[in-house]
Structure 1
């Protein structure tokens, strides 16, 4: 990777990935794009362009003007939002992906887009979910992700495009507020622990789902993109994970740092139904074998770091 175009740069993954890429490869080599601008450091620290990913001509013009050789396509509606707005989700998630693939094909770029555990469904084995297994999701987001995996495979086999991707679990970050995902509770609970000492979960206890701390997710993207192409068998849909947890497990980890923390429940049937269709835990053996994936943070280490970083930010805001 020498010059990288990132779509959805102000989203949960993009807002941290862009800054890390600029540290690694140089600020001028990372072109951030998003539908809207903001006062975020991303818009000030290097090239930034407004881009609606459903506009293929605008995407091509930006990519060509900056002479990018890599496209990291992150722009998408997440699971809960996609279920509320399925037509918008299809048009944005699939139309944007097709445009990004076509731009990459025309310019000969390396390509990355994330998939998700949402690509699995209720008929998928739920414990230690295999890398290669049945995928029959019953949500629009899941349908988008399965379609995206297949589309990226098609572009690799049909055109030789160097496509790569990861099936992310729920991602937890202290930098960016949640943005409409089913696993958002696992981010919100930490914010609430620091600000109010209490959280009401919309996901039921014993609803185990895979999670990953954002620093591990960023490393996984970069390490996959830097991996020797000859070693990659699966390319566009590597299972990756760091921990399988439910709300009670996270609350218990928080109480090791904040003993007075209280967890309540008010279940959201819609998001609970999505969670119930996803795996309890997934097998990341293929990612480890093919390009050396590993996670550095378990639940305890992540919780300690999350609470410390959020406490610092909360104190600064109050000051």
Structure 2
């Protein structure tokens, strides 16, 4: 990658990925786009363009004018939001993806878009979910993600587009507030622990889901995009993970630094039903074997870092 276009740059991943990409590839070589404009560093620290991803013509014009060689398509509605507005989610998630893939095809760029553990469903094996397995999701978000995986494979096989992707677990970050995902409790719990010393979880006790700290997720995107294409057997939607945790496990890790932290529950039936359809843990061995995927943070190291950073930020 030398000149990169990123959609959804003000979202959870984009707001941190943009800065890392600019630090790595140069400020002028990373074009951030989003449907809104703010005073955020993403907007001020390098090229920024307003973009509605359902406007394929505008996306193409931006990509061509900056002569990008890579497109990282992040713009999407997340799981809980998508379930509340399923038709709107299909329009944003699928029209936006098709437009981004078309830009990559026409301009012969490299292409990345994230998938998710939401691409799995209730009939998928729950423990150490394999790279290749049954995918019959029961949510609009999951359906969008499976479709995105298949479309990315199609554009590679049919048109030769260098498509790549990761099936992300829940991503935990102290930088950007939660944005409507089922796993967002794992972000909220740290904020409330530092601010209030207590948290009410909308996900039930004993509900295990895979998670990853954002710095590891950002490294995984760059590592995959820079990987030798000849070694990629799967190419799109590699399983990646750092830990499988439930709310109690996170609370226990927090109490090492905030001993009085209190956790209780008020389960949200919609988000709980989504979580129940997802794996307890996934197998990331294909990513490790094909391009050397690795993580630096487990639950303990992540918790120590987040609490320190949040105390500096909030207190």
TM-score normalised by the chain length of structure 1: 0.99
Deviation string 1:269-319 (CA, Å, 9 cap, x unpaired) is: 00000000000000000000000001110000000000000000012xxxx
RMSD: 0.3
Q: Which runs of 5+ in 2 are unaligned?
A: none
What pairs up with 1:43-54 in 2 under 5 angstroms?
43-54=43-54
Pairwise CA distance, 1:176: 0.3
In structure 2, distance between residues paired with 1:265 and 1:43: 38
Match of 1:67 in 2: 67
Q: What is the aligned partner in structure 2 of residue 270 from structure 1?
A: 270
Query: Using the alignment, how far apart are the partners of 1:92 and 1:289 within structure 2?
Result: 34
Displacement after TM superposition at 1:258 (Å): 0.5
Match of 1:163 in 2: 163
Deviation at 1:204, TM superposition (A): 0.2
How many corresponding residue pairs? 315
For 1:68-113, what per-residue CA distance to the aligned partner results, in whole angstroms no more than 9, with x for missing partners? 0000000000000000000010000000000000011000000000
Cα deviation 1:169-223 (Å, max 9, x = unaligned): 0000010000000000000000000000000000000000000000000000000
The SS at the match of 1:106 is: helix
Q: What corresponds to 1:208 in structure 2? A: 208
Secondary structure at 1:118's aligned position in 2? helix
Residue of structure 2 in register with 1:93 after alignment: 93
CA distance in structure 2 between the aligned counterparts of 1:246 and 1:181, rounded to whole angstroms:
16
CA deviations 1:250-274 (Å, max 9, x no partner) are 0000001100000010000000000
Q: Which runs of 4+ in 1 moved over 2 A?
A: none
Q: In the aligned structure 1, how far is the partner of 2:42 from the partner of 2:204?
A: 36
Matched, 1:76 2:76: yes
Report the Cα distance in structure 1 between the residues aligned to 2:127 and 2:42, rounded to whole angstroms.
Answer: 39
> Whole-Å Cα distance in 2 between the matches of residues 26 and 8 of structure 1?
19
Q: 1:22: Cα distance to partner?
A: 0.1
Return the offset for 1:19: 0.2
SS at match of 2:174: coil
**CA drift at 1:121:** 0.1
Spell out, residue by residue over 1:14-35, the C-alpha distance to the aligned partner (whole angstroms, 9 max, x if none). 0000000000000000000000
Partner of 1:223: 223
